[in-house]
Amino acid sequence: MSPAYLLRRLLAVILVLWIVTIAVFAITMVLPGNAAIMILGEYATPDQVAALEERLGLNRPAAVQYFEWLFNLLQGDLGMSLRLSLPVSEVVGSAFANSAMLAATALVTVTVVAVPLGIFAALKRGTKTDLGISFLAYTGTAMPEFVTATLLLVIFAAPGNPLLPAGGFIPPGESIAGFFHHVILPAGALSFILTAHIARQVRSEMSDVLSSDYIRAARLKGMRERRVVRGHALPNSLAPAVAVISLDIGYLLGGIIVVEEIFAWPGLGRLLILALENRDLPVIQVITLLLAMVYALTNLISDLVIAALDPRVRYE
Amino acid sequence: MPARDGIAAQCSVLDIRDYTLDYETPHGVPVQALRNVSLSIRPGRTMGLVGESGSGKTSLAWAIMRYLPANAAERSGRIELLGEDLRTKSDEEVQNLRGRRISMVFQDPGTSLNPVLRLGEQIAEALTRHRGFSAKEAREESEAWLARTGISRPADMMNRYPHEASGGEKQRVVIATAFACNPEVIIFDEPTTALDIITARQILDLFDDLHDETGVTALYISHDLGLVSRVAQDIAMIDRGEIVEQGACEEVFGRPRHEYTRGLLAAVPHPDRRIVDAAPAAAGNLLDLKGVNVSYGERKSILGFLEPKREVVRGARDVSFGVKPGEILGIVGESGSGKSTLAKVLAGLQEFEGTVEFDSRTYSRRRDIDREYRRTVQIVFQHPDASLNPRQTIGKILSRPLKLYNQLSRSEIARRIRELLRSVLLPEEYSARFPHELSGGEKQRVAIARAFAAEPQLVICDEITSSLDVSVQAAVARLLVELQQQTGTACLFITHDLNLVRQLAHRIAVMQNGDLVDLFETSQARAEERHSYTRQLLDAVPVLLDSGRQGRDS
């Protein structure tokens, strides 16, 4: 892969993010009620609102406000939260870290479980084992997070003698054991549907590879089964698996919002819901941008990983 | 090779006796794949196994390699390698045997090499597996074998991935792998079918050289009788799972006893057996191409800066030629030569520069091409499976051009459909059938009938016979020529089959890398003034002589 390619891809990411800033800003402009009303509350007089609008510059043309906002953003000034009277960077920063920990735990779980499961099913194609795994995977993809989360709560965190806490968060800096104790249920709820989806994709990818001409050629060269699977088939099905996982990250970002709310996990999702309820515009804008950025960058990273796994993929 | 030296010459290396194979089906009635097959190959000989698609020739190869699907049921018989019955071997024994004592060269080197492994590794792994070589020894031996297969820089080739090598180079790697462990038998499964004409010839020459050098015993599977007559000393003809005739090549092809062999031999295109009359005399041209250029890969979108710079490929470079009314003009060339690009330009499917003059009208870009042009110029595509809508009946398919271009009443359309079906020798009842109920040859007949339905002045045939079996191909070619002569329609016959095109074209145009390099009367194919590339192409193609020997035509 050439530096020119990387540069072009980064340019594309910046272009996407710029379009997202316009969309985010436009949406907050059409929402009823502006920042002045938010700050003053619903009993404010029109005069008070007008005075504050004047002071905040809310009566200037939209384009001017947009570019001022964008300019501040680029300088790292994310503004103040209207609700919490704290800098947005501070509020969002710690929530982002908490969400990242939850997402990473879920993603690692998904990858470690789904990929081997898919490969195993493909190797046992047509047998009862394969049928069983496929059945579970179908069931899994039909269960959204809120259903899984509720089930997990009922089973593992039922009042009386709960095996695991029903919600909350302990920073890993404070207690690693405590962190894991709390992360199991939310990460489990997030992982379930993704594991099912990715296992299905990996299975179908791997069985395509296993029935390909070059696998037949390897077998007819007298290669042992272990070498055929690990040396010939596996490298060919990893790159498509990475592509599927990176597509699913978009889904994971959506799921995290639901799951954090259910398990009271102090992350971006919870913060976003709080900000939406309170029309905390600066926070909403920054979180939306941040999610778009994470999605764009993980896609870029997955493309780079695919290029490393498959010699045919050459970016120039 | 000690094992081989000990064998008396009259003894067989590979001996198959009364072998019968079925495939079980879910509904209980097994499909018969092979019926009492007996076949034996003597040491150092090449046996050509010839049959059409579905004849069971590939099933036999899988049976020998012990690579049968789970639903295969072996009913009877023996498959012996130097007296050992392979059917009694355990999985472990079979694994040790494959690649070491029997190996295989596959049809398409593009798919039979692993795309993510370096070519060197794919040879070397066979050597470490079967000959107990260290990694270093295996590399050296692999490199030596690559050199023997005529790869000019073997060390460099070792480090390449399959997509970094040409089709011919890849097939050399596959061949090197097959020979690397000095096997007693090598099965060649149509090893040149997926390659271009000249490359195929080079691979055949390589086969001859290696065969002479190593004295390996070979089973050469092919549907191409001309080619088999060149490589094999013995021939076995297989039809619907049965060996119908077996013997020395001159015997089988020179004095065929079975009617299947006779039929196939008659169907093999031969340049001297012309199937058309002379072209009608005509003053002017029906179609004139003047300086037609096509380039692929030019950047068009406004977000072009986000795309990598692509190499601009010339599909056609300054191509000019004319077609007379009622003439069949053959266009030949290897893949990527631009022959299909021309077909797309003439069918109005491809942007171009230059001018196309047709029936005294001039078209200088794709958008000029109007309905009248589309009616008078029709195209038949290579794959009838892809060009016939699977959800429409044959009658519906044939009615489309009639409704689109002619104002006909419902009863007239029905009458025309019956007429069209008769003209391509299909029963009228086929009108109610769907494409999947027809055979490949029948489907191509429907595609031809559709092209002629609009009563065109020019029909473009883009490789219309290349997906068909030899006997079907001959029938389709004859049918096309008959229709063409009855209707007086001109025809552009695009193909890579030089023997076939010399049977039916009045003139032949040769394309190479987007250039029209040669254009000549078919009778002048062997004339002195031919372009060197034309000569190379003609020399590369084996021609089956009536005596059964392979030879060059003159």
* 3-class secondary structure per residue, B511-535: EECCEEEEEEEHHHCCCCCCCHHHH
Q: Which two tokens stand for residue B124?
A: 């070397």
Give tens-digit pLDDT for B388-433: 999 999 999 999 999 888 778 889 999 999 999 999 999 999 999 9
Residues in contact with A253: Cβ distance below 8 Å, sequence separation at least 6, in sequence order: A103, A291, A294, A295
Which SS3 state, helix, strand or coil, does residue A89 take?
helix
Give tens-digit pLDDT for B494-541: 999 999 999 999 999 999 999 999 999 999 999 999 999 999 999 998
Cβ atoms of B195 and B168 within 8 Å: the answer is: yes
Give tens-digit pLDDT for A182-201: 999 999 999 999 999 999 99
Which SS3 state, helix, strand or coil, does residue B237 take?
strand
Give tens-digit pLDDT for B309-349: 667 788 899 999 999 999 999 999 988 899 989 999 999 99
Residue of B nearest to A5 (CA): B308
- B177: chain A residues, CB-CB within 8 Å: 221
Helix (H) or strand (E) run with residue A293 in it? helix A281-309
Instruction: Convert B265-309 into a string of H (helix), E (strand) and C (coil).
Output: HHHCCCCCCCCCCCCCCCCCCCEEEEEEEEEECCCCCCCHHHCCC
Rounded to an integer, what distance in angstroms lies between the CA atom of residue B234 and that of residue B249? Answer: 5
Which amino acid is residue A208, in one-letter code? D
What is the average pLDDT across B457-480?
92
Rounded to an integer, what distance in angstroms lies between the CA atom of residue B514 and that of residue B485? Answer: 30
Model confidence at B19: pLDDT above 70:
yes
Burial (CB < 10 A; 0-12, 13-18, 19+), residue B552, is: exposed
Give tens-digit pLDDT for B102-121: 999 999 999 999 999 999 99
Confidence label for A56 from pLDDT (cuts 50, 70 and 90): confident
The answer to whether the CB atoms of B114 and A214 lie below 8 A apart is: yes
Complex ipTM: 0.86
Q: Which two tokens stand for residue B469?
A: 């079996």
Cβ atoms of B81 and B184 within 8 Å: the answer is: yes
In sequence order, what E strands does B328-390 have?
Answer: 328-332, 353-358, 361-363, 377-380
Confidence label for B546 from pLDDT (cuts 50, 70 and 90): low
Q: Which residues are bridge partners to B491 per DSSP?
A: B328, B459
What is the DSSP track for A216-280? HHHHHTT--HHHIIIIIIHHHHHHHHHHHHHHHHHHHHHHHHHHHHHTT--SHHHHHHHHHHTT-
Which SS3 state, helix, strand or coil, does residue B153 take?
coil
The answer to whether the CB atoms of B306 and A220 lie below 8 A apart is: no
Cβ neighbours around B508 below 10 Å, total: 23
Interface A-B: count of C-beta contacts within 8 A: 86
The answer to whether the CB atoms of A15 and B306 lie below 8 A apart is: yes
Burial (CB < 10 A; 0-12, 13-18, 19+), residue A243, is: middle
Model confidence at B212: pLDDT above 50:
yes
The answer to whether the CB atoms of B98 and A216 lie below 8 A apart is: no
Helix (H) or strand (E) run with residue B38 in it? strand B31-41
Q: What is the pLDDT of residue B407?
A: 77
Helix (H) or strand (E) run with residue B447 in it? helix B440-453
B172 — phi, psi (to 5°)? -65, -40
Best mutation target among B114, B129, B305 (most A Cβ atoms within 10 Å) is B114
Give tens-digit pLDDT for B480-504: 999 999 999 999 999 999 999 999 9
Rounded to an integer, what distance in angstroms lies between the CA atom of residue B363 and that of residue B287? Answer: 11
DSSP state, residue B240? T
Q: Is the CB of A15 inside 8 Å of chain B's CB atoms?
A: yes
In sequence order, what E strands does chain A have?
Answer: none
Cβ atoms of B43 and B11 within 8 Å: the answer is: yes
Model confidence at A44: pLDDT above 80:
no
Q: What is the pLDDT of residue A261?
A: 92
Q: Which two tokens stand for residue B34?
A: 């092979």
Q: Which two tokens stand for residue A311?
A: 């010699």
Placement of tokens 């941040």 in the chain: A290
From the list B261, B209, B301, the residue with the least C-alpha distance to B471 is B261
Q: What is the dihedral of CA A204, A207, A211, A214, to 10 degrees?
A: 100
The answer to whether the CB atoms of A217 and B112 lie below 8 A apart is: yes
From the list B156, B152, B168, B149, the residue with the least C-alpha distance to B120 is B156
The answer to whether the CB atoms of A214 and B104 lie below 8 A apart is: no
Cβ atoms of B554 and B528 within 8 Å: the answer is: no
Polymer length in residues for chain A: 316
The residues in A 32-51 lying below 8 A from B, measured between CB atoms, are none
Q: What is the pLDDT of residue B7?
A: 44
CA distances in angstroms from B98 to A224, B56, B186, B187, B362, listed in the order given: 11, 21, 10, 11, 62
The answer to whether the CB atoms of B113 and A217 lie below 8 A apart is: yes
- A19: chain B residues, CB-CB within 8 Å: none
Residue B98 has its nearest CB partner, among A8, A221, A311, at: A221
Cβ atoms of B241 and B260 within 8 Å: the answer is: no
The answer to whether the CB atoms of A223 and B114 lie below 8 A apart is: no
Best mutation target among A11, A19, A214, A216 (most B Cβ atoms within 10 Å) is A214
**Helix spans in B187-271 (H):** 197-214, 225-231, 249, 259-267
- B113: chain A residues, CB-CB within 8 Å: 214, 217
